[in-house]
Amino acid sequence: MDAELTTSEVIVMEMLEENSRKYTKSYDLLILDYDTPEEGGFEFVKKIRMNDNIIKKPKIIIMFPFLRDDLFDHANDYSIGISKPIIPSVLYNAILELFKIRALESKILYSDSKHKKSESLSKTYYALVVEDNKTNQFIAKSILEEVGFVVLLADNGKLGVDQFKENKKLLDIVLMDLHMPVMNGYDATKKIREIDDNIPIVAITADAIIGVEEKCKEYGIDFYISKPFEPELFIDKLIKIIEEKDSSKAKSDNSGENEMKSMLIEEEGLKHLANNHELYELVLAEYLKENRETASKLSKEIEEKNFSEAAQIVHKVKSSLGSIGAKDLYVVATKLQNSLELKEISDIENLHREFYRMLIQLISELEKR
């Protein structure tokens, strides 16, 4: 992005007008501090919208003062709002959202966290964020997705319970705001606990923990994170909660299963390439390059119920699986594609989870070659 900076609202207007003239390139984006214009950010945006000399109106991100949650209720009328101090990844994701660009298609994944997808999570986890504040939703989603979580959102407790019922087989953790309209976090947790006793539920609260701890335990809330939260501490705590749960579950299961089966049967793949080992390695490298982000892309399409697009993604992945010797994944991909094409919701959930796990394992195996 090419950027120009100014501290003057007058100069902003002049720049926008000047760049709306013929044969000049218009500005695509204006990032505006709410308190800088004398009349306030919203009134200044109105002036831009009503200025006939600005032919092409830019998309706008407004930066709001810390703890001014009241301003976010009006942000959608004008732009996307984000809170100061700015978390760089949230600003980055706000830009992607405004221009409908998918981060997974970008060559650069901006992160201000020490965590990386490949090293933070032992596998892909699903999180449900139940939060009525859109900004807090956006921040939590941005931070979680950076380290590889798949995130579902709900605007209040009732919708959170509905989301949990619909996706209970996928979900690994629930992040629950306590104070929400329609149904608060306590009552929502109580209803979730009637369905599942074991899933970790984390209170995301601005309340003093001492004042709410006893009530949280009474309703079945296991853990607490205070708002506003530091991204790295937030992720560290969530990963610790989930991986401790997984470790406990593995010990209690103690099923004595053999080491995880490889996704690749090399002799099968080599048969398709006349036993040319060098060519086989090149094919695997190309497959890895093409499919590093496929699992995330597929999850997004399924989450948004874009089943036709999801079926096309699975079809594209499936077309090469047999050739490289990933027969088990090919079988699951065929079933998932069929369910997506028929919009069989109940089957899609189970098959998607299995396909996701196997594809992530395959990508991991290819990265280690």
pLDDT at 192 exceeding the cut of 90: yes
104: pLDDT strictly greater than 60: no
In this prediction, residues 26-31 reach a mean pLDDT of 90
Range with lowest mean pLDDT among 147-151, 210-214, 343-347: 210-214
Cα pseudo-dihedral 295, 300, 301, 303, rounded to 10: 120
297-339 pLDDT, tens digit per residue, is 898 899 888 999 999 999 888 877 877 888 889 889 989 999 9
The CA-atom distances, in angstroms, between 85 and each of 65, 171, 240 are 8, 31, 27
Confidence of residue 251 (pLDDT cuts 50, 70, 90): low
Q: Which of 14-18, 43-47, 74-78, 179-183 has the least mean pLDDT?
A: 74-78
Pairing of strands 173-177, 201-205: parallel
Would you place residue 105 in the very low, low, confident or very high pLDDT band (cuts 50, 70, 90)? very low
| Per-residue pLDDT tens digits for 270-307 | 877 777 888 888 888 888 888 888 988 898 899 888 99
C-alpha to C-alpha distance for 293 and 289, rounded to whole angstroms: 9
For residue 24, give the nearest of 9, 34, 14, 11 by alpha carbon.
14
The residue count for the chain:
369
CA distance 62 to 135: 12
pLDDT at 107: 37
Least confident of 132-141, 186-195, 200-209: 200-209
3-state secondary structure 271-289: HCCCCCHHHHHHHHHHHHH
Residues 6 or more apart from 278 whose CB is under 8 A from it? none
Residue 252 pLDDT exceeds 70: no
Please tell me whether residue 255 adopts helix, strand or coil conformation: coil
Q: Is the pLDDT of residue 115 over 60?
A: no
φ and ψ of 96, to 5 deg: -60, -45
Task: Give mean pLDDT, residues 17-29.
Answer: 79
Give the mean pLDDT of 7-34.
85
- The residue-averaged pLDDT of 37-50 equals 89
pTM reported for the whole predicted model: 0.47
Percent of all residues in the chain with a pLDDT value above 70, rounded to a whole number? 82
**Cα–Cα–Cα angle for 30, 36, 40, rounded to 5 degrees:** 90
d(CA 364, CA 369): 9
Which domains does the chain possess? 9-86 (no CATH), 117-253 (3.40.50.2300), 266-367 (1.20.120)
Contact 245, 307 (CB under 8 A): no
Query: Is the separation of the CB atoms in 91 and 61 below 8 Å?
Result: yes
- Cβ contact 66:85 at 8 Å: yes
C-alpha distances out from residue 24 to 3, 6, 11, 55, 56, Å: 15, 19, 17, 11, 11
* pLDDT score of 261 more than 90: no
Picking from 57-61, 105-109, 205-209, 282-286, which range would have the lowest pLDDT averaged per residue?
Answer: 105-109
Least confident of 55-69, 125-139, 189-203, 248-262: 248-262
Mean pLDDT, the chain, rounded, equals: 80
Omega before 228 within 30 of 0, i.e. cis: yes
Please report, rounded to a whole number, the percentage of residues in the chain having pLDDT higher than 90. Answer: 17
Q: How many CB atoms lie within 10 A of CB 165?
A: 12
Of 20, 235, 281, the residue nearest 139 (C-alpha):
235
